[in-house]
A = this chain, B = another copy of it.
Amino acid sequence: MTVPAAPSLVPTLPGAAYTDPGVFAREQERIFERSWTCVALAADLVAPGSFQAVTAGREPVVVVRGRDGRLRAFLNVCRHRGARVCDGTGQARRLQCPYHAWTYSLTGELIAAPNLAAMPDVGREEFGLRPVALREWLGYAWVSLAAQAPSFEDTVQADVVTRLGDLAAIERYGVADLALGKRISYDVPANWKLIVENFMECYHCATIHPELVGVLPEFAEGLAAQYFVGHGAAFAPDAAGFTVDGRAGFERLPGVTEEQDRRYYAITIRPQVFVNLVPDHVIVHRMTPLAPDRTLVDCDWLFAPGVTGVDASVELFHRVNEQDFAACARTQPGMSSRSYRDGGVLVPSEHHIGDFHRWVTDALA
Contact = CB atoms under 8 A, between A and B. Distances in A.
A64 to B, nearest CB: 16
Contacts of A185: none
Interface residues of A, number: 60
A38 B340 CA distance: 24
B118 A83 contact: no
Interface stretch (A2-10, A157-165, A226-234, A260-268): A2-10
A119 B348 contact: yes
Contact of A99 (B100, B204, B346, B349): B204
A15 interface: yes
B83 A203 contact: no
A125 to B, nearest CB: 14
A59, A339, A349: residue with the most chain B Cβ atoms closer than 10 Å: A339
B130 A99 contact: no
Given A8-B122, A207-B101, A115 B222 contact: yes
Contacts of A113: 347
Interface string A195-235: 00100000110111000000000000010000000000000
Interface stretch (A251-259, A275-283, A329-337): A329-337
Given A9-B121, A60-B334, A82-B334, 12 more contacts: A7-B121, A8-B118, A12-B82, A77-B339, A78-B344, A80-B347, A81-B331, A81-B345, A81-B346, A82-B340, A83-B331, A98-B330
6 contacts: A8-B122, A9-B121, A80-B344, A81-B197, A99-B327, A130-B339
Interface of A: 5, 7-9, 12, 15, 58-60, 75-84, 87, 98-101, 113-115, 118-122, 127, 130, 145, 197, 203-204, 206-208, 222, 327, 330-331, 333-340, 343-349
